Structure 1
Amino acid sequence: MRHLAAALLCLAALPGLSACGLRPLYSGGMSGAAAQKLAGVRVSPIEGKAGWLMRNALNDRLSAMGQGEARYRLDVTLDDRIQGLGVRPDETVTRERRALRARYSLVDTASDKVVLEETTGWDAGIDVVSSEYATVAAEDAALERLALIVADRVIARIATDDAL
């Protein structure tokens, strides 16, 4: 009986959820507001291996929105660091943290004015094993994942900015 009452209560609350004002970010598909904003963004070159990975991730996400007139230029500066965390008594590192931080600016190409400037980032943990090759491979895999995650965060922030 208690389960039936809970189910009825949930059903009664459903109509109220539609009036909460939330809308899907990518509603309208390619003609939606977010897609139109993102279609007009071009990514400047970014230095280094992390920059190459990040620029590719950003361009992959932006190209999915179509190609519009280049209204904005996205300038990104990356800070990629690896820090040893776990240390054995013989002072060998057993765990690392790789942090990728992106400082980005969205510049209006017509006026050369910065319309959005923020920092975002993400961290990944890496086990340091006895094989140096395996550790380097884990560090590279972490960088690839971090570039994708940080690119997603940048794109989401640009898409949700009401000033654009």
Structure 2
Amino acid sequence: MKALVALTAAMLLAGCGLQPMYAGGGNAAVAQGLAAVQVSAIEGRAGWLVRNALVDELGVSGAKGVAPKYRLDVRLDDKLESFALLRDDTTGRERRTLRARYQLVDVGSGAVVLDATAGSDAGIDVVSSDYATIAAEQTALENMAKDVASRIVTNVALRLRGDTDQ
């Protein structure tokens, strides 16, 4: 019975036109395209974190001998806002937002292939320990940098695959 259900599900899934993006592993067209993306330097600590996450996700560090075909330019907006004032006029909560505007540029022609935005935010409890609050702010930034980088790489992969209409 389980085999029949699995076989039916596999046939229905195959008939819907969905295809794995990375079919073929490292030799897939999308993986090769991502490996040919050069990530420009990004300003600030948040920029350093996002750039490192992008390089890790794109697989650029392991792509020796691959000439860059695209350049990824990223501008970040990192904000830390206080809200939720307590009775004693101290901050009880903070919100950190990280927004990225990015462009994928064809190195050969200079044409912008993709122009989009990605973002992430996090809520942070402000506690009596300054150290704990600063640590929470930094951890939130690290997590948001990975999230933003993942969103960017997904969108770039879709563009390289030809599935987006941006």
- The TM-score with structure 2 as length reference comes to 0.87
Aligned to 1:144: 142
- Residue 138 of structure 2 aligns with an amino acid whose one-letter code is D
| Deviation of 1:85 (Å) | 2.7
User: Which of 14, 19, 22 is the equivalent residue of 2:15?
Assistant: 19
| Distance in 2, Cα, partners of 1:123 & 1:19 | 38
After alignment, is 79-88 or 35-44 more displaced?
Answer: 79-88
Residues 163 and 112 of structure 1: CA distance in aligned 2, closer, same or farther (over 3 Å): farther
Q: Aligned pairs, how many? A: 159
For the residue of structure 2 that corresponds to 1:18, the secondary structure is helix
Q: Cα distance, 1:12 vs. partner? A: 7.8
> Structure 1 residue 163: deviation in Å?
7.5
8 Å contact 1:71–1:108 — kept in the other structure? Answer: yes
Contact 1:30 1:66 in 2 (8 A): no
Kindly state the Cα deviation for residue 63 of structure 1 after the two structures are TM-superposed. Answer: 2.3
Q: What is the aligned partner in structure 1 of residue 158 from structure 2?
A: 160
Letter in 2 for 1:49: R
User: How much has 1:66 moved relative to structure 2?
Assistant: 2.8
Equivalent residue runs for 1:65-144 within 5 Å: 66-67=63-64, 68-144=66-142
Please identify runs of 4+ aligned residues in structure 1 that moved more than 4 A: 7-13
Q: Distance in 2 between matches of 1:57 and 1:118?
A: 18
Q: Does residue 34 of the first structure (1) align with residue 67 of the second (2)?
A: no
Match for residue 55 of structure 1 among 15, 31, 51? 51
What is the distance in 2 between the residues matched to 1:32 and 1:11? Answer: 27
Pairwise CA RMSD:
2.1
Q: Tell me, in whole angstroms, the C-alpha distance in 2 between the residues paired with 1:9 and 1:28.
A: 27
* Partner residue of 2:41 out of 17, 27, 45: 45
TM score, norm. by length of structure 1: 0.88
d(CA) in 2 for partners of 1:140, 1:105: 26
- Of 63-72 and 13-22, more deviation after overlay is shown by 63-72
Residue 96 of structure 2: SS of its match in structure 1? strand
Contiguous gaps of at least 5 residues in structure 2: none
- Rounded Cα–Cα distance in structure 1 between residues aligned with 2:23 and 2:7: 26
Q: Give, in whole Å, the separation in 2 of the partners of 1:35 and 1:27.
A: 9
Letter in 2 for 1:122: S
CA distance in 2, matches of 1:104, 1:34: 19
After superposition, the Cα gap between the structure-2 partners of 1:43 and 1:117, relative to the gap in structure 1 and judged at 3 Å, is same
Unaligned runs of 5+ in 1: none
